Amino acid sequence: MKILYVEDELKANIPKIENLFKKFLSKQDLQQLRYLKAQRRKTKEQIKQIVQNSGKIDVAYTFPMALGLLRNYQVYDLFIIDRNLSDEEYDFEELTKNDSKFQEKHYDLFFEREGDYILSKLVSESIVVRDKVFFLTANSNDELKRTERIDSLLDFGQFSKANIIDKTDDVEIDRLKHLIENNEEIRIKKEFAFEIEILRTISERAVELFIEIIKRKEATDRSSVVENLLKLRKLNENLLIIVAKNYIKERGVFNDYDEVNIGSVIYWLKNNEKFRLDSNALIVSYLYCIKALGSEYGSHEKLEETVPTTSNTVNALFYALLDIIRWFSQLKN
């Protein structure tokens, strides 16, 4: 779990920082923040280092610094962005160094609305900003009127007014704190940290598929059931492709185009003496069920109500997948 917090006025916002991130900071970090708050001489860098001690929050207090961190935007689950980052002048060359797409026209266009540029950048990277980005503003109603970009995102449901937080309002800050602490993706990554760590060795897309399944595995509509079966089948295949390439390496499991035959991999695991203890009958059965049901019913052509798969099917296969991931992790060790 990782949060990017972008705020240029760190020294004036120590109480808000303490309130927002209390759950993620140690007692020692909180004590250091309170000590700094009472000091006349304190720096933004000192505050940044204390907050980052948690390992769960990255802090940027300038626009260029924020753009530098956004080069690795994939690591963040939430973005808390102060919309106006013009507390200090920023150097154009430093901006272009951290973001090659930043042009001179952007300097004037987004001055005092730097958060809008960050939001646009995240949208361009296909981030679902409605779920992940929160704006901190001094006056949300007035600032909303200052850009067509925000209005457009609101009109098409890609962003929500609930994501725009008036940072001068303690009630609004408490609401943001609740949203942070109860964020679904953060909860999932904490609960399934082991499985996500293993899937990340395959690809970030595998992690995304896993999280998408969890978010929708209780959904009962036909479309969601089918989508989840497709994703389960894909994850199952991803794991078995790694197994085939790293451990089997026999021509029988590859076709003439060097592609893995998933069915052959499962058959090999079932019958090969070397893997018999590792890939026991339970795991082989799980692998086969996900492959068979995912192939048979994980198709957009299977949306008719007569198809017997339900959210119960999805849940059964999901928990089977958890055992498969654990088995897979033991093979890699």
Report whether 77 contacts 183 (CB < 8 A).
yes
pLDDT tens-digit profile of 47-74? Answer: 999 999 999 999 999 999 999 999 999 8
Q: Give Cα 252 to chain centroid, integer Å.
A: 38
Give the whole-angstrom CA distance, residue 66 versus residue 121.
Answer: 12
Q: What percent of the chain has pLDDT over 90?
A: 46
* Model confidence, pTM: 0.68
> Is pLDDT larger for residue 290 or for residue 151?
290
Task: Quickly tell me which residue has 């996500």 as its tokens.
Answer: 196
Return the pLDDT at 304. Answer: 60
Q: Give Cα 310 to chain centroid, integer Å.
A: 27
Task: Quickly tell me which residue has 């609740």 as its tokens.
Answer: 178
The pLDDT-based confidence of 322 (bands split at 50, 70, 90) is very high
pLDDT tens-digit profile of 234-283? Answer: 999 999 999 888 877 666 677 766 788 788 888 888 887 666 555 578 89
Q: What are the residues whose beta carbons fall under 8 Å from the beta carbon of 34, sequence distance 6 or more? A: 14, 18
Dig out the tokens for 282 from the structure: 């339970």
pLDDT tens-digit profile of 169-218? Answer: 899 999 999 988 888 888 898 899 999 999 999 998 999 999 999 999 99
Give the whole-angstrom CA distance, residue 76 versus residue 70.
Answer: 9
Burial category of 161 from C-beta neighbours within 10 Å (exposed 0-12, middle 13-18, buried 19 and up): exposed
pLDDT tens-digit profile of 203-214? Answer: 989 999 999 999
Res. 296: pLDDT tops 60:
yes
